[in-house]
Each structure stands twice: as structure tokens, then as C-alpha cells.
């Protein structure tokens, strides 16, 4: 599978499917009892807001949201002051919210696997491209803002 053709939302959906499958077929044990599972909604909302805010800023400055395409602008304001990758962080928060809502242990093992996959398959290459395009400006941004949070 060529990772440049499989976009991050596909990895997100596969991770979500894996979480739900693990919960129903191999839950191990419940770690978050109901009604405390509803705290997951907070993570879901945060993930949605973060992802949408990042997407909105990209559209506002006219740069691409697609991985491996050349960026037209370096976005460093708003949610990009919290994370260099707010949309990927948003996906991770959505997965965290889903895991909390499910309440069993096994869905949580998917989150680090998702983060590692996104980091290795997308972020590292994107960072190299941004450094080549924006040079010192991107280097300074990297020093000020963490990759995830």
C-alpha cells in the first residue's frame, strides 16, 4: 500500500474500527465505568474543534491540507501555536474520546499506534518539505511549538 495515496482520515477510520472491534471482541476489562465514560464527549468535541480550526486556517491562507503537496503558506497562528499538527492532534483526541466512551482497556492500545503511524508516515516528510520551503522561519517555529502538544 502506497502511504502517499492513503490519506490520514483513512488511518483514523481504520483506527476507530480497530478500537470498536477490540472493545466488542477483546475488551479485557472495563477501566472506565458508566456514567464516567461520558467524559469522552469532551475529548470528541476538542478533537473536532481543533481539526476544524486547523482546516479553516489552511483554507483561509490558501494552502493545501493534503499531505505531500507543496504548502503555499506557513501557518503559525491560532491552534498552530499549541501544536504544529493540530489536525492530527484532533484525530488523536477523537480516538481518545471514543476509547473513553467505550470504557474498556483494549481500545486505548490503538491510540499510540495511530500516533506513531501518522508521525512516521506523514509528519516527518511534511516537516522536511516545510523546512525546505520555509527555511529559517520553519526552523524557528519548530523551536517554539511542539510537534503534537
Q: What's the domain count of the chain?
A: 1
Residue 117 lies in a domain: yes
User: 85 in a domain, yes or no?
Assistant: yes
pLDDT tens digits, one per residue of 54-69: 999 999 999 999 999 9
Q: What pLDDT does 5 receive? A: 82
pLDDT at 4: 53
Tell whether the model's pLDDT for residue 46 goes beyond 50. Answer: yes
62-100 burial, b for 16+ CB within 10 Å, e for fewer?
ebeeebeeebeeebbeebbeebbbbbbbbbbbbbbbbbb
- Asked whether residue 2 is assigned to any structural domain, the reply reads no
3 part of a folded domain: no
Span 118-146, average pLDDT? 97
- Tens of pLDDT along 17-35? 999 999 999 998 999 999 9
**pLDDT over 60 (residue 3):** no
134/149 Cα distance (integer angstroms): 22
Q: Give the pLDDT confidence of 70-98 residue by residue, as tens digits.
A: 999 999 999 999 999 999 999 999 999 99
Cell output for 36: 464516567
Domain for residue 125, yes or no? Answer: yes
Would residue 20 count as lying in a domain? yes
Average of per-residue pLDDT values in the chain: 96
Domain with 83 in it: 8-144
pLDDT at position 105: 96
Apex 111 CA angle, 148 and 56, nearest 5 = 45
Report if residue 107 sits inside a domain: yes
Residue 1 has pLDDT above 90, yes or no: no
Q: What is the pLDDT of residue 106?
A: 97
At 47, list the grid cell. Answer: 478533537
104 lies in some domain: yes
Amino acid at each position: 500500500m502506497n502511504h502517499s495515496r492513503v490519506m490520514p482520515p483513512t488511518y483514523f477510520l481504520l483506527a476507530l474500527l480497530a478500537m470498536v472491534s477490540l472493545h466488542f471482541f477483546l475488551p479485557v476489562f472495563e477501566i472506565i465505568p458508566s456514567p464516567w465514560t461520558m467524559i469522552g464527549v469532551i475529548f470528541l468535541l476538542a478533537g473536532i474543534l481543533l481539526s476544524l480550526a486547523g482546516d479553516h486556517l489552511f483554507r483561509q491562507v490558501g494552502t493545501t491540507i493534503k499531505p505531500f503537496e507543496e504548502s503555499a503558506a506557513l501557518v503559525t497562528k491560532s491552534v498552530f501555536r499549541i501544536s504544529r499538527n493540530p489536525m492530527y492532534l484532533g484525530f488523536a483526541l477523537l480516538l481518545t474520546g471514543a476509547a473513553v466512551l467505550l470504557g474498556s482497556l483494549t481500545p486505548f492500545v490503538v491510540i499510540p499506534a495511530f500516533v506513531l503511524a501518522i508521525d512516521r508516515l506523514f509528519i516527518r516528510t511534511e516537516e522536511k518539505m516545510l523546512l525546505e520551503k520555509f527555511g529559517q522561519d520553519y526552523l524557528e517555529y519548530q523551536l517554539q511549538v511542539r510537534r503534537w502538544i
